[in-house]
Amino acid sequence: MINLTIDGKKYQAEEGQTILEVANRHGIFIPTLCVDEAVSAYGACRLCMVEIERKGRKKLVASCLYEVEEGLAVSTQNERIANIRKTVIELLLARCPQSEGVQAMAKKLGVTCSRFESEKPENLCTLCALCTRVCSEVVGKSAISLVSRGTSREVALPYYEDKTDCIACGSCAYICPTGAIKMEDGNGMRTITWPNCQVSFNLSAVPSAAPN
């Protein structure tokens, strides 16, 4: 077992557990917008930043990715962390002002508006990559990926090709926390709409349910 402290309290954890997993297990709140136990951690949203101290040195780490170590001292709340979370949620609010998930998290963190301007107010995608991870890790496909860089980064067919690996299972739509991906069945067809593209399949040829 590994001994560590979180917010000054002693805890034990198993080797390989992340700080977030240990905190969740003990009911310690760390905000997150890109984790789901169905897929591996990716570190996209940066809301889960905490401060760690080892051998007298402090640094900020993403708690969803950082594995516990013997003697680690973790702070989940202080002014530095609060400022970072505030900036991150303001950036997310500017990116996705209409996302209910982002709005709810902002409210939880006491943030009501963003200092940053929104370039695409209708955008719902936070780039959490839950959809691309479920597609590759659970479904075993690579139908969608994060493409491009900077403010142009988006979920799209890999390399913007017009052919796709998609089997229309709908896992990406099920896991999407913001409603940015839509799946509709009608007239014998299933249509999946990602932020910048769409595919349609004959319903008789698609899996009956998304994998759990």
Among 22, 46, 106, 130, binds ligand FES (CB under 6 A): 46
Compute CA distances 14 → 22, 49, 70, 178, whole Å: 9, 21, 10, 33
d(CA 111, CA 72): 30
Which residue's CB is nearer to ligand FES, number 137 or number 184? 137
Q: Which of residues 60 and 167 has its CB atom nearest to ligand FES in the complex?
A: 60
Q: And the tokens for 132?
A: 């691309």
Binding footprint of ligand FES, residue count (CB under 6 A)? 12
Q: According to the binding rule CB under 6 A, does residue 144 interact with ligand FES?
A: no
Distance CA 195, CA 131 (A): 12
CA atoms within 13 A on the CB side of 17: 19
- The DSSP call for residue 150 is G
Does 89 engage in binding with ligand FES (CB under 6 A)? no
**Angle at Cα 166 formed by Cα 164 and Cα 167, nearest 5°?**
140
- Kindly state the smallest distance separating residue 64's Cβ from ligand FES, in Å: 3
Q: Which range binds ligand FES by CB under 6 A, 43-51, 96-104, 144-152, 161-169?
A: 43-51
CB of 44 to ligand FES, least distance (A): 5
Main-chain dihedrals φ then ψ at residue 204, nearest 5 degrees: -65, -15
For ligand FES, the binding residues in 61-80 under the rule CB under 6 A are: 62, 64
- Residue of 13, 23, 44, 180 that binds ligand FES (CB under 6 A): 44
Q: Is residue 22 involved in binding ligand FES (CB under 6 A)?
A: no
Residues of this chain that bind ligand FES (CB under 6 A) = 32-35, 43-48, 62, 64
